[in-house]
Amino acid sequence: MYKYKIYNNIAKEGLDILNQNMQEDQVNPDTLLLRSQVLQESDFNSSLKCVGRAGAGTNNIPIAEATNKGVVVFNTPGANANAVKELVVCGMLLSSRGILQGSSFAMTLKGLDGANLNASMESEKKNFKGSELKGKTLGIVGLGAIGSLLAQTANIMGMKIIGYDPYISVDAAWRLPKEVEKADTLEALLSNSDYISLHVPLLESTKDLISSKTLNIIKKGAKIINLSRGGIVNNNDVIGALKSKQISRYVTDFPTPELIDRASENGDVILLPHLGASTKEAEVNCATMAAEQVSNFLANGTIINSVNFPPIKLGRTDNFRMVIINKNEPGMIGKIADKIASSHLNITDMTNKSRDDIAINLIDLDQNPSEEIVKDIESIEHVLSVRLCINS
């Protein structure tokens, strides 16, 4: 029986899936399930086969180390997309109208009677006047699961939409409303958008994507919403752009000391405590999706939504399946097949997929291979792991 270890609070629905065919083990788990826990290389015990991240971002997992050890890392893109999309809409509204300021003012009216209360409200409400989203232009940077959902909602709300994503997938493109205007460059989007919402992962190429260089060409008075990752935006440069009135509001899910200082002295920064995916529905969706993915990989070798391995699946043709992970070197399939053939086993079906420097093989056999055969395959140079998935 496979074993699992849990970090962070994982929704019960996800744990129920794991407990169907696994048991918890804090010492030698086959899989880890986590949310924001920062993993170290020391967390990769010798029996670990996969990691399930209940969320989209994986910058809290040492991906290179996992790949070198043949550990598959899964994430759950799209599982929390609706929760984040709704908070982006909320962020646009908070940045456009004096909702927070008006709420704070309303609390000062405590103790006033009806006539005086109404008089105070009527005299002060002009200070909280804002603008509507309808007719404004929303620039969406990154058109994946969240970005495409946001485009659909903004379209219904009557906004004009510009999208930029040089790596957009075919599936994401199909989800976009036909009204979305494609920007050929990030600069074209920034210079024409009233609102800019960021939906890209934090990579070396996206670090400080919004900085003094890009802020200088942004449409004057634009509002930026960042519920993606803090490092995508250079906070000091954004504060400078706020001071010069180049942008009018910055809404982010990633408070830092300098942003807190700015927010406390000026209402042009709106801070949220990492609430993007904090809904009951999103937590359940992420937990169940992650649990299903790691369970399916352990049972059948199937890979869906891995950040370091290629997608792979193979319908069962026999009860005995070998899952072999190896470095992506020439001749590996032949060497593995030769070992199996020399042991007088018949391959009934197989598939092989590779991604960069890593490869995985799913091989169905007509009978149960012996431990000696498994060890022979493990001894092949560049083979990282061999395991059996046997249907009972």
Catalytic positions: 229, 258, 274
Structure tokens at 132: 């509507």
Residue 104: CB partners within 8 Å, gap ≥ 6?
none
Asked if 96 and 130 count as a contact pair (C-beta separation under 8 A), the reply is yes
Instruction: Please tell me the distance from the alpha carbon of residue 168 to that of residue 172, in angstroms, as a whole number.
Output: 6
Asked if 176 and 143 count as a contact pair (C-beta separation under 8 A), the reply is yes
Q: Select from 206, 224, 207 the least CA-distant residue to 215.
A: 224
Beta carbons within 10 angstroms of residue 17's beta carbon: 20
Beta carbons within 10 angstroms of residue 191's beta carbon: 17
Instruction: Please tell me the distance from the alpha carbon of residue 99 to that of residue 11, in angstroms, as a whole number.
Output: 33
Tally the residues of the chain: 392
Asked if 254 and 230 count as a contact pair (C-beta separation under 8 A), the reply is yes
Backbone angles phi, psi at 373, to 5 degrees: -65, -40
Q: Select from 183, 178, 136 the least CA-distant residue to 162.
A: 183
List the strands of the sheet with 22-24, edge to edge. 22-24, 2-6, 31-34, 50-53, 72-74
Residue 148: CB partners within 8 Å, gap ≥ 6?
172, 175, 176
Is the four-CA dihedral 25, 30, 33, 34 of positive or negative sign?
positive
Backbone angles phi, psi at 69, to 5 degrees: -95, 0
